[in-house]
A and B are shown apart, each in its own frame.
Chain A
Amino acid sequence: MRIDRRQVMFGAGAAALLFPQSALGSQAFTDSGGRKVMLPDRVEKIFASGGPAAVVVYVMRPDAMIGWPRAIRAEEASYLLPEVRDLPKLGMLSGRGDTANVEVVLRTRPDLIVDFGSVRPTYISLADAVQNRTGIPYVLIDGRFEATADSLRTLGKILGVPERGEMLARYTEDLFDRLDRALSAIPENERPRVYLARGPNGLETGLRGSINTEILERAGGRNVADAGGQRRGIVQISPEQILVWNPDIIVTWDRNFHARIQARADPVWASVKAVQEGRVYLAPTAPFGWIDRPPSVNRLIGLAWLASLFHGDRFPFDFRQETRKFYKLFYHVDLVEAELDTLLTWADGRPPGAPNPR
């Protein structure tokens, strides 16, 4: 009997090698886009189809990663597990602006392609297109920030790590609860008016409701770039508009811009309330951006950090403890003191000049 089973398995394994499309003993799963996808029993290799997906796949199953959508920078690498640092850059395969070479992807034989982000009909049809083209099951998971906890649970289940998914989901729900409780005590007019400064001049920003600024808004800030909800997305503004808005807080992750503002070199910015009160904050971006870049679960730590910046004592936040916990829980790394210091000083406006040796 044993021999028979081995023979069967051998034959099945050969069949799997010859016909990678036919997933062996698969289970049916309905993804966030309502698509019925046949999942493989064992998921050993996952291809993350874009930036946000790469983050969640790393968070969930770093052992199954086969590559990154874009190259990892030196200063980011030290905040990641050693095994993933040297994974090849494979490009994106989300159906929009693809940069991945499909044959290269196929050669690595992933069991599953994970996409994390918008589930609008466009992206559903793109997901179908990629799945048909490559023959690899492609799951589309809801990337909306509000749905993070549920998405983490779902991912845990389909990637074979349900307990981990549950743990991360609980962390997320706790954080959201804590935040909402604090916010319920803070009326609208006591919430700070916030401006997200992007680009080398700081004149690029995200309108209220766009994915790029939703962390700021979720943390209880009032995005000054408000177009009445008519439009979303990234826009350019004139410096006069900054003066008119006169935000209480400015957040950025562009180091050049931050340095210039801190140096009070520009008289226009120097007259803005946020600059005068010293409330211009630089978001760390290692290994992933704290408030964006990409818009994925990496923003959870940014959410807590921003909430403490915005509301002070009303949202207590022990930087070192919370950061250490988050990085351990999500990114699988134990931060040493030096690294924590780096992140702390980074968030304090002094980004690192050289990569952190690990």
Chain B
Amino acid sequence: MRIELRDLAFGYPERAVGSDVSLTVEPGEVLCLLGPNGCGKTTLFKTMLGLLRAQGGEVLLDGEPLGQYSRAEVAQRIAYVPQAQTSPFPYTALDLVLMGRVAHRGVFAGPTLKDRELAMAALNELGIGDLAHRDVTRLSGGQRQLVIIARAVAQAAPLLVMDEPTASLDFGNQVVVLTEVKRLAARGAGVVLSTHQPDQAFAVADRVCLMRDGRIVAMGAPIETLTSERLEEVYGVAVSIERTRSGQIVCAPLYG
């Protein structure tokens, strides 16, 4: 499934956040969004999902405007991983992941056996299968984040939109998540994720989109787009882009 943003202007009813955003994400493609805090990444994501009304331009799923689809239809096509919030209710991890399957069922239906299998598979894929029956309010922030990601995986949507999915994760789990992203893309899903780590963009992204003040500053392959000049311009810090001996590209800030 292909998503296209055409001249999208987005923001809140009382405040415009961004405009002139045009991009597409093809199946199997990973697009990374980078930009300073407050540049509008989360707002853009919410607009892509139909949670906020676009203030101009349009969002097209497989060529059809977003508004043509019902919520369930949108959810069957796009899965959302928001920045983790604290739910006040002590659902188990499995319960929460099962909720990801709601869009695939009728309004009155409960989880099927297949739903349960997919949910457990998603939890296992992310390495948290043993947390299935634990109360999510007792988990750490990072574990909760993994549960949310597992939910998006279980949703089995052709496009995933992830808002800083590694934000609260420890080093090991960051790798787990990014590995999962690559795996999902390899299986044919499109993934849009925002991150604050240029390294992650270099590691998983097919394309990168740099944003500032609600506008796209640059877009393209990571190696071309994330130059040290661009990053310094956007983030205000000096960096050095280097290739490691194992062939990976890393972005090292120049402290001092």
Touch test A–B (CB under 8 Å)? no
Give me the interface of B with A, judged by CB distance under 8 Å.
Answer: none
